[in-house]
Chain A
Amino acid sequence: MTATSAAALPESDQVRPAPRRWGAPLWVGALLIVLAFLVIYPLLMLVFGALSDSNPIVDGFGAFRPSVKHFVDVLANENVHLAFFNALAACGGGTILAVAIGLAFSWIVVRTDTPFRGFIAGASMIPLFVPPLVAGVAWGILGSPKTGLLNTVLKWIGIDFRFDFYSMSGLILVFGIYYAPYVYMFTASALRNMDPSLEEASEVSGASAFTTLFTVTFPLIAPAILAGSLLSFVVMLGIYGVPAALGAPANISVLTTYIFKLTAWSPPLYNTAAAVAILLMVVTAILVWAQQRVLSGKSFATVAGKAFRPRALQLGRWRWFTFSLALIYLFVVVVLPTLALVIAAFRKFLFIKDFDALFDAKAYSWVHFNSVFDNPLTMLSIWNTMKVGVITALVGGALAFAIGYTVNRTQVSGRRSIDLLATLPVAIPGLVVGVAYLWAWIGLPGGLYGTLWILALAFVARFMPDTVKALSTSFMQIHRELEEAAWICGRGLLGTIRTIVLPLARPGVVASMTLLFVLAIRELGSSLFLYTSDTTVMAVLLLDYYEGGNVGKTAAFSLVQTVLLAGLLGLTTWLSRDAAQGSARVG
């Protein structure tokens, strides 16, 4: 993508002033009201729950007897300490790996002449589309120390080494490879939007390509790297499926599995779970604050009013090396788990005595697919999921654009509060946020409860941080001078957004809406409390299959979901390419 030059803007006889003064407070007020409904109100319910033994709807606010008992219990419980440190280790290790992979990939795809870059870019996003539970199940099938397919192959070859993914290193590895796309999304869009003249200057001054990469390129996209790693870290903190499938057999507990236990025990301890969730929010708040402190006072604008073309580094023979690196990653992250799922989906039972048993044709059939499609809920859930995904992507995308623009491109007072509020939901694990939404919204007049809209609103709120952060990176890189040029040429605020900001941020907007769609389709925690028999969604059905102990049906349904999502991926890649070409034409 390239920048729009001021010369391309329409002329105007009359120079209009920048946005009128009275509009700003109204705008900020409107955003705050929306955020109050989507974030503050449910969070207050959560705080209310954490500070009492009551359910705000069942017992009413009159029964509220504030007490810090749950916090004290949680802080004093050594199992919580252990879960906390396990979570930090797994997510910290996972983030480091995700940054290494994501950054390497974005560089390979955007800034080198590695062959088949488009294919690599598309395929490397696939892990993002895999529900964490499915990823956990797939890697359990591959890397279980007793029955893992990888170990079956090693045994057949005669190698003594055995993989054990039921371990902390297994968790870190799976986290790292599955959340690398988060880092990739941020850094690829930053690299794409970066003016290569800075790198050229470095190389003209005698720096090697390698030195330039580490002294110019990566420091320049530091906000994207930081935003990507922060987001992947907090998202990992909130993931249940992977540690549930891989950590549980080794008795490795993390905060989410601990919270799930709290809600799954009999009787369920929602108030304690709310207290743990609030502690998680504090951790996230600290991380966000640290990120802002690191970035404050620095300018990362790399898209200015000067036209440029993206530059691809000529790697020569080394381009086949980068290509094979990409292939290895794709093999590990896409081919292997998909193969595991395919085997699980088509095999009647997943008991594989030895390597030869893998090729016993009699053991394979369509039985799990038949049974999945015999289930009347399957088609209903697919249709509902698509509808909720589209609503979430459109409403959430528009809201995130409004918030991202206000926070990053204006100086209105109150924008920091908006930023903070939009970031808060990231830390709350799905199951807890689900009950908070239920508490908050069930009592509202009107027919919201029981519709697909309540699910969509919960997803919009829950994934607002992801979407806003993804968009903010695009906004941060568009230099103010472009908008100023538009104002000078007589465009109003909306006109400037429409003709300057939106086209420039379009890849980011499309990426954010895709992300939102994908996250909405995968989301389980908040769905579980808000779905009804008419509004059941795929994630809920997937949990049914998993909880029913049928890995075959779980795998079959996961493959159905993956195929649907792959179709969407193709569509958005095509849209992004179209957007990039459109922008290039403007430039």
Chain B
Amino acid sequence: MTRKHMSRRTFTATAVGATVGAAAGLQALPAAAQTQFGSKELIAAAEKEGQLTFYTADFAETQQEVIKEFNKTFPKVKVAMVRAPGGQLIQRIKTEAAAGKLGADVVNHSDRGLMLDIADLFQDYAPPNAADYRPDALVSPKLWPGATLGWAIAYNTQLVKNAPKTWMDLLKPEYKNKQIGQVIGPSGGTTWTRIMFERQVLGEDYWKKQAELGIALYPSGAPLSDALVRGEVSIAPLLYNIIYTKIVEGAPAEAIFAPEGVPIVPYADGVTKTAKSPNAAKLFMNWRLSKEGQTFMINKLGNITSLKEPPAFPKGWDPKTIKVWVPNFEQFDKLRATWIEEWNKTYGYRQ
């Protein structure tokens, strides 16, 4: 399997280092790991700092897995996490920063627009493998796609006999009467990316045709994924990582990547200017953005990646047929308010 093969190859250099590193500390880290994650000096300084504070708008459990994996290689750098929903996290960061009490060393956020507004709070930073990242996934030289998520079509295997295979299949009359669930348009940057894709790639009238089927609306992806597993809805466009872990655990669900395109959402992560542990923060970012970090997130968490050459692919992802769709950031910002308003009207969502 491609995924296995890729991950084995990627891990060759670092897996030994990770194991030995965990047992014996920095001295045992091989040179390859040192270049991949930063200089020897950076690693030594990070371990001396010994900890960092990580603010995230992602799911706490997902990020804990990331931290756990990071600590396998760098057990001496403890990561304390503060998690809050997107808009509330931004509000908190702004207020803390203004009061001179910003607690975060690293911030991880899915809404590139909101992060760009506060880009001044972040220091100049680039990972060792900066050149490997797609330029269209970057909105500021200070902010990096530590995580990248992609949209899939998920369905309940016990309820759907004729599973959808394309985005256009979600217009079929056989899926009418709230069999399809959707996250509301104004919920945030990730959903906005998907509905922008639907209108720009699948057609101006895609929303209208789909809304006519009768769609069950949900405030965010997580409750929708739960509703899908429970059988409240049968089909739902979902960020792959939300449903992937459930599928792995044996939930009656499956997810496919549609051939018309996979809208992806690159996160915007950065190291704050006021970081109390700047070296630990950079090391953590370097690890997250490294091939090793990205491979772990793809294989274990169901992420996609913004690396030009993906080190691994999620299950069912055929690189020959599947196209990644990244929104044009200028349009992402400019069209948002008017299109969301139209989406609300089309789907009968009261904002």
- A534 touching B80, Cβ below 8 Å: yes
For A264, give its contact among B62, B81, B219, B225 (CB under 8 Å): B219
Q: Which B residues are CB-close (under 8 A) to A461?
A: none
A10 on interface, CB distance cutoff 8 Å: no
For B87, give its contact among A144, A248, A265 (CB under 8 Å): A265
What are 25 A-B residue pairs whose CB atoms fall within 8 Å in the complex? A55-B98, A57-B95, A58-B98, A144-B232, A147-B232, A244-B219, A251-B348, A266-B186, A267-B87, A267-B114, A267-B117, A349-B230, A351-B251, A353-B158, A377-B60, A435-B95, A442-B95, A528-B88, A533-B53, A544-B59, A547-B222, A549-B221, A549-B224, A550-B61, A550-B226
- A532 touching B88, Cβ below 8 Å: no
Tell me how many residues of A have a C-beta within 8 Å of chain B: 56
For B81, give its contact among A265, A270, A533 (CB under 8 Å): A533
- Given known A-B contacts A267-B114, A549-B221, A450 and B103 have beta carbons under 8 A apart: yes
By beta carbon, the residue of chain B nearest A535 is: B82
- B103 touching A548, Cβ below 8 Å: no
- A533 touching B80, Cβ below 8 Å: yes
Q: Which A residues are CB-close (under 8 A) to B246?
A: 349
Given contacts A264-B187, A442-B95, A534-B80, 12 further A-B contacts (CB under 8 A): A249-B218, A251-B348, A264-B87, A348-B249, A350-B229, A351-B252, A431-B88, A529-B92, A548-B61, A549-B226, A549-B242, A550-B61
B83 on interface, CB distance cutoff 8 Å: yes
**Chain A window 208-252, contacts with chain B (Cβ cutoff 8 Å), 1 for yes, 0 for no:** 000000000000000000000000000000000000100011010
Q: Which B residues are CB-close (under 8 A) to A349?
A: 229-230, 246, 249-252
A585 on interface, CB distance cutoff 8 Å: no
Which residues from 304 to 349 on chain A have a C-beta closer than 8 Å to any C-beta of chain B? 348-349
By beta carbon, the residue of chain B nearest A141 is: B230
Interface centre among B82, B221, B250 (most CB of A within 10 A): B82
B189 on interface, CB distance cutoff 8 Å: yes
Which residues from 149 to 166 on chain B have a C-beta closer than 8 Å to any C-beta of chain A? 156, 158
For B217, give its contact among A251, A431, A548 (CB under 8 Å): A251
Q: Which B residues are CB-close (under 8 A) to A541?
A: 60
- Given known A-B contacts A147-B230, A350-B229, A264 and B96 have beta carbons under 8 A apart: no
- B101 touching A442, Cβ below 8 Å: yes
- Given known A-B contacts A55-B94, A266-B114, A532-B82, A548 and B219 have beta carbons under 8 A apart: no
**Chain B window 58-89, contacts with chain A (Cβ cutoff 8 Å), 1 for yes, 0 for no:** 01111010000000000000001111111110
How many residue pairs between the two chains, A and B, have CB atoms under 8 Å in the bound complex?
161
Q: Which B residues are CB-close (under 8 A) to A147?
A: 230-232
Chain A proximity of B155: nearest CB distance (Å) = 13
- A146 touching B87, Cβ below 8 Å: no
- B82 touching A547, Cβ below 8 Å: no
- B87 touching A263, Cβ below 8 Å: yes
Which residues from 123 to 161 on chain A have a C-beta closer than 8 Å to any C-beta of chain B? 144, 146-147
A547 to B62, CA, bound (A): 12
A55 to B91, CA, bound (A): 9
For B156, give its contact among A351, A442, A546 (CB under 8 Å): A351
- B95 touching A439, Cβ below 8 Å: yes
Q: Which A residues are CB-close (under 8 A) to B351?
A: 79, 261
Chain B proximity of A47: nearest CB distance (Å) = 17
A443 on interface, CB distance cutoff 8 Å: yes
Q: Which A residues are CB-close (under 8 A) to B53?
A: 533
- A268 touching B229, Cβ below 8 Å: no
A163 on interface, CB distance cutoff 8 Å: no
Q: Which B residues are CB-close (under 8 A) to A146?
A: 231-232
Chain A proximity of B97: nearest CB distance (Å) = 8
A253 on interface, CB distance cutoff 8 Å: yes
Q: Which A residues are CB-close (under 8 A) to B87?
A: 263-268
A549 to B53, CA, bound (A): 25
- A253 touching B88, Cβ below 8 Å: no
A551 on interface, CB distance cutoff 8 Å: yes
- Given known A-B contacts A82-B350, A533-B81, A551 and B226 have beta carbons under 8 A apart: yes
Q: Which B residues are CB-close (under 8 A) to A411?
A: none
Q: Which B residues are CB-close (under 8 A) to A450?
A: 101, 103
A383 to B97, CA, bound (A): 29
- B99 touching A57, Cβ below 8 Å: yes
- A449 touching B94, Cβ below 8 Å: no
- B59 touching A547, Cβ below 8 Å: yes
A375 on interface, CB distance cutoff 8 Å: yes
B20 on interface, CB distance cutoff 8 Å: no
- B95 touching A351, Cβ below 8 Å: no
Q: Which A residues are CB-close (under 8 A) to B158?
A: 351, 353
A456 to B85, CA, bound (A): 22
**Chain A window 414-455, contacts with chain B (Cβ cutoff 8 Å), 1 for yes, 0 for no:** 000000000000000001000100110011000001100000
- B103 touching A532, Cβ below 8 Å: yes
A244 to B184, CA, bound (A): 14
A59 to B217, CA, bound (A): 36
B30 on interface, CB distance cutoff 8 Å: no
- B220 touching A547, Cβ below 8 Å: yes
B192 on interface, CB distance cutoff 8 Å: yes
Q: 6 closest Cβ contacts across the A-B interface?
A: A549-B222, A268-B87, A533-B80, A544-B60, A58-B98, A442-B99
**Chain A window 542-583, contacts with chain B (Cβ cutoff 8 Å), 1 for yes, 0 for no:** 001111111101000000000000000000000000000000
Q: Which A residues are CB-close (under 8 A) to B113?
A: 266-267
Q: Which A residues are CB-close (under 8 A) to B98?
A: 55, 57-59
A531 on interface, CB distance cutoff 8 Å: yes
